Chain A
Amino acid sequence: MSNVTVERVVKRYGSTKALNGVSFEAGSGITGLLGPNGAGKTTLLRILATVMAPTSGEVAILGRNPASPRDRLEIRRCLGYMPQEPGFHRNFTAFEFVDYVAILKEMTNRRVRHAEVMRVMQSVGLRDVEGRKIKALSGGMRRRVALAQALLGSPELLILDEPTAGLDPEQRLRFRETMSHLSEDRSIVLSTHQTEDVAALCPRVIVMNHGTALFSGTPRELADVARGAVWLSAERASEAYLSYRTGEGHYRNIGRAPANAELVDPTVEDGYLMLLGDEAFVEAA
């Protein structure tokens, strides 16, 4: 059963189309949105988070219609949202901020609420800085505070807009660990620039560009987009869409492989680049 259904969703800002007929479904587990800046990922996530309504198209979240005020309220009761730029009250401590959001999420029993705040702070590794003011936290710690508030109440649907931005490698690994636990019994829709995150976490990935969904499938399927188009060579291949020198000293090329090329297995990143690169080739032609 899909927890999120998006059908032919269009969102306009004046004359600009931020989303242009996007459709997809997301069930349990993690769905990753990949795409360059301006692809429409954040707009889509804001629609899913009930921050804004689409200009046209249908959206169903947890079986409810966010256009209905009553349903919207019920959706919000089951939703955890981490905006791309969450904004913080700099003079709040990390605990106070998360606690404030917990009240907004209707957690009115103080003892229970504080225990829940402690739990989510623990889950993102912030227990030791919970009393520190947000203005004194690093950028990575602030992202984790934003993640912690989204986890409050173990929401049925988690919407995370670039949750790994600004995290160091260790924090990213911990984030993946947390997400993999959480994804066992809920839906998570996250956007990211990091193809490694998608490969590591998401059973389903959607690639967006220019307000449309270019691809929807598994990471393996995304990698397969570049199958037969990734090869190694001793010299930079001029016909490649992208060519770079690896740490082993040879060049990894993505594009239309020459006949005698030494093909290698593509990665998600290769598939993503191929997907966007193909479009670029078409545009150029």
Chain B
Amino acid sequence: MSVAALDRIAVRVPGWAVAVQLARHEGLRMVRHPILWVGGLLSLALFGLLTWQSAPVLHRDDVNVAGALLPFAAATLIVANLAASRAARNGTDELYNTAPASRALRTLSQLLALAFPVGVSLTVAGAMFVYMFIDAPVGTPRFAELAAGPVSVALLGAAGVTVGQWKPHPGLGPMAVVVIMAFEILLIQPVIGLAGTNAEFTQRIPWFALWIPLSLTSEVPSEIVIRPGGWHLLYLVGLAVVVAAVALARDGHRARLVPLLVAGAAAAVLGSIGQLTPASSAQRAALASLMVDPEHYQVCEVRLGVTYCAYPAYAPWIDRWAAPIEGALARIPPNSRPQRLVVRQRFGSYFEGPVDIPQSTIRELERDRRREERLGAWPPTFWTGTSWGRGETEGEYEVGLALWAAMEAVELPSNRRELVLTDAETEVIRGEMLQALPAKQRVQAEKGLRRGRSYYCTTLGQARGLAALWIAAQSTPETRGTVRRVASDTPFGVNFYEHEGQRFAYYEGPFMPLYPLVPPPMWDRVQFVDSEFHYAASLLDRPADEVAEVFAQRWDDVLQPTTSTAHVLDDLGLTPHPTIEDQVAALPDDVKVDRGTLRGGTTISDSIPCF
């Protein structure tokens, strides 16, 4: 034997150094694989889908970050599986088996190589955070929730290596993904199926999945759900260790793997026990208190006479709430500005997902809130939730708040009780107000009047409806953009469509769609109408000071329910919308017009004019 050969034998290279170099080689190949890129893009797209319409809330979106990484984790499984089965599939095993680096070392390196996709997942998660941080997030992310994403990537990657080692077939990776995802969907199904229930143990079963959403169907504030994120993380880490040990067991040395296997299994079992343990009654009581007595926990701030109260984590949102309200109040004559307005944050009381609030508390809350809807709150209160819009949808949220302030200013009903009419009010409505309505609506409104109440009232034909809509529409740049967009997207009046070569007329309206502009708290009170909405949108093209001046000069008159929109159009420089007859006359000759169109559409509402 030559001296060189003897030297080579004498200078031993440690196994870990070989494993690290192999892992680097494998890892770089993994992160260059197109499937991993597709997974990363899908993850970013999913995160965008989950969050693009919501202002960032870090203690809610941390759950979304972990969930959005699932496609990336699935891609990692496939890529790791291809890497692990490569030697067997390509017939290089014979050659590799004659090298000093053992097969076990190669398997270990494939597991270590998962650090690369895990690193990429951290980068992807970082990109998600950047996306959140560019829009002033609130709250604090939870480490355990965030870490669940990258740990899931490691776990599924280890599963890919294990499958590749034991059954080297390229089709098994995608099959494993399908099985794991089916298992995931099956497990988180109770998040939908047990809507609003408090079945303590069944509610915890989904925690055996990789990722558990707050809710799949509606928003559940993360504040009222106790998530055993730390235990779940331990469970995932334990599973990853067990799966990795199974991969290594393929190459022998099984006795040496026993401690690893036992440690992993212990962590998984401990994590399972922890995540299955229901919230204690003390924890649940604390959450209930948070929900029932928000004023004990919230921070409040008074601005221009309006009180804003938010849970501490959401305090920065007071700026978001104040902007549209201040923009609206600025256009209301100082003496007519509503007093003692309150904007208060609270959690909803209906959840399509498990929460840790006792059912009795929720039932009690619902009773209180129904009573409040009927009687109204004093001082006038706008209840805002734990979500806020982002981008285009931010304008919608702002219109809602500004419209509420404007409605208070123009004295539109603020609760169900105000929709019950006195005899004197009924008489006034029967007079000139009913006559101002289109024939069809007049007939329907009379039905409501006979009962002396209605579910809704409508601002149809009332100048104050127009005033409220314009005040809300102009309050911020976002509200202006939103109102213009909605106005252009929702044509009203007589239009026509083509069907099988024939053209037919139809009437769009008269009521403005509640969503997206009118917030849920006002859905059961006032119906605004298309015509006033489009007048308000048109007024955005005029200098706001001039329009505000016109309303200010005639403010007392505008407040009167009997003052019609037509009465103020001239002063506002607006041209009345053509009558239905004129609109029909302007249609092309070949358009067929039915009687429903001529009557102003077939939409029926027995709402009475707001008084």
User: Could you tell me the distance in whole angstroms from the C-beta of B176 to the nearest C-beta in chain A?
Assistant: 21
Contact B25 A156 (CB under 8 A): no
Cβ of B99 under 8 Å from chain A = yes
- What 1/0 mask marks residues of chain A from 32 to 71 whose CB sits below 8 Å from any chain B CB? 0000000000000010011100000000001100000000
Closest-CB distance, B17 to chain A (whole angstroms): 4
Our pick among A74, A79, A104 for the contact of B22 (Cβ within 8 Å) is: A104
- Once bound together, how far apart are the Cα atoms of A218 and B499, in whole Å? 96
Q: Point out which of B1, B9, B13, B86 has the most chain A C-beta atoms below 10 A from its C-beta.
A: B1
Residue B21 CB within 8 A of the other chain: yes
Distance of A85 Cα from B92 Cα, bound (Å): 9
Given A77-B9, A89-B92, is A106 in contact with B1 using a C-beta cutoff of 8 Å? no
Which among A51, A63, A79, A88 is the interface contact of B90 at CB below 8 angstroms?
A88
- The stretch that binds B, out of A14-22, A95-103, A238-246, A268-276, is A95-103
Partner of A103, one of B18, B91, B93, B98: B18
Is A279 an interface position by the 8 A CB rule?
no
Q: Which residues of A contact B335 (CB under 8 A)?
A: none
B25 A50 Cβ-Cβ under 8 A: no
Pair A51/B8 contact, Cβ less than 8 Å: no
Q: Does B101 contact A (CB under 8 A)?
A: yes
Q: What 0/1 pattern do residues 1 to 23 of B give for CB contact below 8 A with A?
A: 11011001100010001101110
Number of interface residues of B (CB under 8 A): 27
A240 to chain B, nearest CB (A): 41
Among residues of A, the one whose C-beta sits closest to the C-beta of B1 is: A62
Interface size on A, residues (CB 8 A): 40
Are B94 and A78 in contact, with the CB atoms below 8 A?
A: no
In the complex, what residues of B have CB within 8 A of residue A113's CB?
Answer: 21
Given B1, B17, B101, which contacts A104 in the complex, CB threshold below 8 Å?
Answer: B101
Does A156 contact B91, Cβ atoms closer than 8 Å? no
A110 within 8 A of B: yes
Chain A residues, CB < 8 A from B94: 46, 51, 83, 86-87
**What is the 8 Å Cβ interface bit string for chain B, positions 83-112, against chain A (1 contact, 0 not)?**
000100011111111111100001000000
Asked if residues B101 and A156 are in contact (CB atoms below 8 Å), the reply is no
- Given contacts A3-B1, A78-B1, A78-B5, A106 and B101 within 8 Å (CB-CB): yes
Q: Which residues of A contact B8 (CB under 8 A)?
A: 77-78, 153
**Minimum CB distance partner of A99 in chain B:** B25
**Central interface residue in A46, A50, A90, A101, by most chain B CB within 10 Å:** A101
The residue that A101 contacts in the complex, of B4, B9, B91, B99, with Cβ under 8 A, is: B99
Among B2, B95, B97, the residue within 8 A (CB) of A86 is: B95
Task: Decide yes or no whether A233 CB sits under 8 A from chain B.
Answer: no
| A127 close to chain B: CB less than 8 A | no
A154 touches B4 (CB 8 A): yes
A74, A103, A156, A186: most-surrounded residue (chain B CB, <10 A): A103
Chain A positions within 8 Å of B, measured between CB atoms, are 3, 46, 49-51, 62-63, 73-74, 76-79, 81, 83, 85-90, 96, 99-101, 103-106, 108, 110, 113, 146, 149, 153-156, 185-186
15 pairs from A and B in contact (CB 8 Å cutoff): A50-B97, A77-B8, A79-B98, A87-B92, A101-B96, A103-B101, A104-B18, A105-B100, A108-B13, A110-B21, A146-B95, A149-B95, A156-B2, A156-B5, A185-B2
